[in-house]
Amino acid sequence: MKLELIRGDIANQPDMDAIVNAANAQLRTGGGVAGAIHRAAGPGLEEECRPLAPIQPGQAVITGAHQLPNKYVIHCLGPVYGRDKPSDKLLAACYKNALKLAEEHRLRSIAFPAISTGVFGYPLDDAAEVAVSTIQEMTGTLEHLETIRMVLFSERDLQAFHRQVAGK
Ligand code: ADP
């Protein structure tokens, strides 16, 4: 399994089987990642999401990708930092549950944004530590996934993830 770190837009990862949405509980469009994904997917995505909502912090659900170039969207509800506790366990559950869904669907590639680090206020370095360590812990259980890509929006976010992978 290869863990890639890139700077980019989660809604523009055409070579990935699935992209992960940093969703809200209602699985509606919004700002940040959810807005970018729903805009690119078109209204069919919200329609498919409606009967699956609401979801709980740490939970993940899978849908089709509609007008996106991927096969699936996996929607994760990250913890709101300082409100949904324990935040680290809930954030780790997002990554675990998303990876489990990807495995169940025999996907070979998945791209994640930095869940909870935008509007939900999770400190970047702490979120990067949880994300990288959870992915590394799950590696031994993955049979189908070959590529896990973290898509970071800013250079600062990318550097924070690089530091975690380097163990610094
Ligand atoms: P949350 O509500 O889980 O905090 P956000 O969408 O507000 O989710 O932000 C999560 C992270 O994704 C933030 O670091 C934000 O800068 C980043 N981000 C925003 N838009 C995009 C995008 N189109 N592609 C990748 N990352 C994005």
State the distance from the centre of ligand 1 to the C-alpha of 164, rounded, in angstroms: 19
Residue 63 vs residues 37, 136, 139, 141: alpha-carbon distances, Å? 12, 25, 24, 23
Regarding beta strands 60-64 and 72-76, do their DSSP bridges make them parallel or antiparallel, or are they unpaired?
A: antiparallel
pLDDT of residue 49: 98
Radius of gyration of the chain (CA): 14
If one residue of 151, 153, 158, 161 were mutated to test the ligand 1 pocket, choosing by the most ligand atoms within 8 A of its CB, it would be: 153
pLDDT tens digits, one per residue of 30-67:
999 999 999 999 999 999 999 999 999 999 999 999 99
- Rounded to 10 degrees, what is the CA torsion of 8, 139, 54, 105? 90
Pocket flag, ligand 1, residue 23 (CB < 6 Å): no
pLDDT of residue 147: 98
Residue 168 has pLDDT above 90, yes or no: no
Q: What is the mean pLDDT of the chain?
A: 98
Total domain count, the chain: 1
- Say if residues 66 and 108 touch (Cβ distance below 8 Å): no
pLDDT tens digits, one per residue of 89-114:
999 999 999 999 999 999 999 999 99
CATH number at residue 74: 3.40.220.10
Q: What's the CA gap between 111 and 113, in Å, rounded?
A: 7
Regarding beta strands 60-64 and 18-22, do their DSSP bridges make them parallel or antiparallel, or are they unpaired?
A: unpaired
pLDDT of residue 99: 98
DSSP state letter for 142:
-
Domain span at residue 44 reads 2-166
By percentage, how much of the chain surpasses pLDDT 70? 99
pLDDT of residue 157: 98
Residue 119 has pLDDT above 90, yes or no: yes
pLDDT of residue 60: 98
pTM of the model: 0.98
Pocket flag, ligand 1, residue 79 (CB < 6 Å): no
